[in-house]
């Protein structure tokens, strides 16, 4: 197994503007996501060709697809962007983008995919009006608190000042989180 990259975006509130931005994501209107899919293919990552789809994470995979957008925010619902294989989850005070890409590859030897993934975080984060983006591994206690609908800001985590510090050794796990300027 390995650790996947995830970005957490604190929000001031889930609003009508948030829903309008979700509609843009559903229509694949973010150019950075298409550029990421292209970079991923060039660097050997698998990408998807299915349509954008909402899923209920509580159901078995075969039954998880939803016919349309669910009532939001709901931490159990996720939106899959198949090209770059990104999953977006929403709750009232934040949203997260989980990536199928392994941390050791993205932070290690896949510079184009890393650069394009950061572009996605910036473009989507700005679209949602997020003030900041915290990048971490999906094994991070901050992310686990987010997924459990708990106060993730109260979870202690060491902030790193560069992506290189986040994942200093491919033999080790991702440590702490990195605050990406938006």
Q: Parallel, antiparallel, or unpaired for β 133-137 and 74-81?
A: unpaired
What 3-state class would DSSP assign to 109?
A: helix
pTM (two decimals)? 0.90
For position 159, what pLDDT does the model report? Answer: 86
Domain span at residue 48? 4-180
**10-residue mean pLDDT series, the chain (182 residues):** 84 86 90 89 79 91 91 93 88 91 74 89 93 90 92 83 74 77 89
Cβ count near 49 (within 10 Å): 7
Please tell me the total count of domains within the chain.
1
For position 158, what pLDDT does the model report? Answer: 81
Q: Give, rounded to a whole angstrom, the gap between the first and last alpha carbons of the chain.
A: 31
């Amino acid at each position: 197994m390995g650790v996947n990259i995830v970005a957490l975006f604190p929000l001031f509130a889930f609003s009508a503007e948030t829903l309008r931005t979700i509609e843009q994501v559903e229509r694949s209107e973010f150019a950075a996501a298409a550029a990421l899919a292209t970079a991923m293919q060039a660097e050997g990552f698998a990408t998807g060709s299915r349509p954008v789809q909402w899923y209920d994470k509580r159901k078995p995979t075969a039954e998880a697809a939803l016919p349309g957008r669910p009532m939001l925010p709901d931490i159990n619902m996720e939106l899959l962007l198949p090209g770059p294989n990104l999953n977006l989850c929403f709750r009232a005070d934040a949203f997260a983008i989980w990536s199928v890409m392994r941390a050791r590859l993205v932070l290690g030897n896949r510079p184009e995919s890393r650069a394009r993934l950061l572009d996605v975080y910036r473009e989507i984060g700005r679209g949602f009006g997020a003030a900041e983006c915290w990048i971490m591994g999906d094994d991070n206690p901050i992310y686990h608190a987010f997924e459990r609908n708990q106060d993730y800001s109260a979870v202690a985590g060491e902030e790193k000042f560069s992506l290189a510090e986040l994942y200093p050794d491919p033999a080790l796990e991702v440590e702490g989180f990195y605050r990406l300027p938006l």
